[in-house]
Chains A and B, each alone.
Chain A
């Protein structure tokens, strides 16, 4: 039985498609290693006990159940925004709305969970749904501007993020602040109106289930529905998409709405899973992180959880390192950036990839039919 499994894995990697996957995985691995090397250099330069610090960075996340739980919790927002980015990028759009949508989604979630006049578990679920829908509507703005007027969605969504942020902050400070709380916060959310914990001691919430579910749904959308197909073709070759009859304008709008909605939903889910009040006073950065996750996951929603866990692991490592040593946790942002830069670099190890591809193509041609 085991042999059969190995055999099929072995065979897969000997096909041309498997080879390309192998090449990409290799490139990702090299990029990760390079990033870690950069990080180690920075640590070595600034820490008094570099080796000790590096060891903490790498091993602390696994040290005890609580830190392991932290990895999962950290991964939750990243999965949501990562899937959102996957869908948008596959559709050819570089839309940054995930950042603002996530923030607003959390805000909306926190408020509605308390105020919705529905029993028990329906409250957080309803709040999440509402957050998703509202952010989807917001996501329509940069999408429509791009489709109709060709306004660059990157800049417009960026501007919109700041606008969303300040509008939320206004509502936060002036309308929804809880007067009984010590510092700026929304009303306290009772346990019955929150997403239940899977493991309360280690703060692992059911939100991870929603996150994983979103990843699966995202994949199904892209690869098993006709709208996902249309989105992918539009993103990969818009001329071809139009030629086959796909309505590219609709596609462009759809993926951006979905991306924003998922981010909004994710924000609500994350907040209702792990917090009792909304207390953020700045954009948390999960939206931008979604890009890193998506890139490591090759824009495949099913791989997003793995990438998210990886980044979550790095994050926890950095936090622990900051706690237990003299190196601040911002190192992890540097690592993330380096990873994107190298993985995104098409010329990075491209020579190797190209030679492989050529070898495969000529092999295919030999095996092919009677041609010149």
Chain B
């Protein structure tokens, strides 16, 4: 089993499996930073996957497919924004409802356009290309995993960096954070709270779109009903544990991706039962949530053994 885990294939596959989760978690992250967690990431990814797959098939252009997926992601976010912010439907309720809507709509549109209800495998998408970076990809073990991946994988790593920079070094990022932490204070200095939230949700939509496109144009070559299978929610869980830091969030999402791949791989390689392996990602998520809650409750950050590992906090002088 250990050789299975530490193989080159595992690393590559882990990233492969984790990418949609990472996109989802970034979507959750930016929306949570702005104070309105968008649970609709799951449904948005589904519709985005459908759109990307179909459009890329129709136009035989992966660029158009990708762009249309992103557009759909943004659209769904705007719909969510309208209901959660304007009509003030409870954001969790809106998220649930829109997820139902999106799944229903996805099946509906699939049927209407293709005439099939299961998947679009007969109309394969134009795939998003892999990119191999010549020299770096030859490094053993990590080479192929990090430098011979799909375009979207590079994009997801780039996103982590961009997200960190935007949140911490731009005016927009500061507005988003202040709106999320203390909207009253933010509006007292003139920051347009709702408008900022909408911008953040649009970015969330972009990530959902990318995640969806990945599923139907990289991971598989077609759209299949239910292909998101909870990844949106796992992304939300990863975000909860990443404590709002894009890098940590990505690490947790990678971890979930690893568990996901382990579940699949362990079945073929090690012969564990398929169904039980499928529970692993969810068990891991649940365990992680519990650990996180315990950490919070007992304030383990102040426990001497744990404190050693954490970055030093700056105390205000004077």
Contact = CB atoms under 8 A, between A and B. Distances in A.
Interface of A: 42, 46, 94, 145, 149-152, 154-156, 158-160, 162-163, 166-167, 169-170, 173-174, 282, 288, 291-292, 295, 327-328, 330-334, 336-338, 340-342, 344-348, 350
27 contacts: A149-B294, A149-B297, A150-B293, A150-B296, A151-B289, A155-B233, A155-B236, A155-B237, A155-B289, A156-B286, A158-B233, A160-B286, A162-B282, A167-B275, A170-B276, A173-B275, A174-B273, A292-B100, A330-B107, A331-B104, A334-B104, A337-B97, A337-B98, A340-B97, A344-B89, A345-B83, A346-B87
A159 B282 contact: yes
Interface in B190-232: 226, 230
Contacts of B236: 155
B93 interface: yes
Contacts of B31: none
Interface of B: 39, 83, 86-90, 92-94, 96-98, 100-101, 103-105, 107-108, 111-112, 117, 226, 230, 233, 236-237, 240, 273-276, 278-279, 282-283, 285-286, 289-290, 293-294, 296-297
Nearest to B95: A154
A169 B89 CA distance: 36
A145 B237 contact: no
Nearest to A150: B293
Contacts of B294: 149
A204 to B, nearest CB: 27
A331 B240 CA distance: 34
A347 B290 contact: no
Contacts of A292: 97, 100
Nearest to B298: A149
Nearest to A42: B108
Interface hub of A150, A330, A346, A350 (most chain B Cβ within 10 A):
A330
A151 B278 CA distance: 23
Nearest to B39: A154
Contact of A169 (B240, B275, B290, B297): B275
Contacts of B226: 282
B37 to A, nearest CB: 10
A167 B276 contact: yes
B94 A341 contact: yes
Contacts of B274: 170
A328 B112 contact: yes
Given A42-B108, A291-B93, A162 B88 contact: no
Contact of B100 (A151, A160, A337, A344): A337
8 closest A-B pairs by CB: A333-B104, A345-B87, A337-B101, A170-B275, A149-B293, A340-B97, A344-B89, A347-B88
Nearest to A157: B286
Contacts of B90: 344, 346
A160 B289 CA distance: 12
B108 A330 contact: yes
Contacts of B290: 145, 149, 151
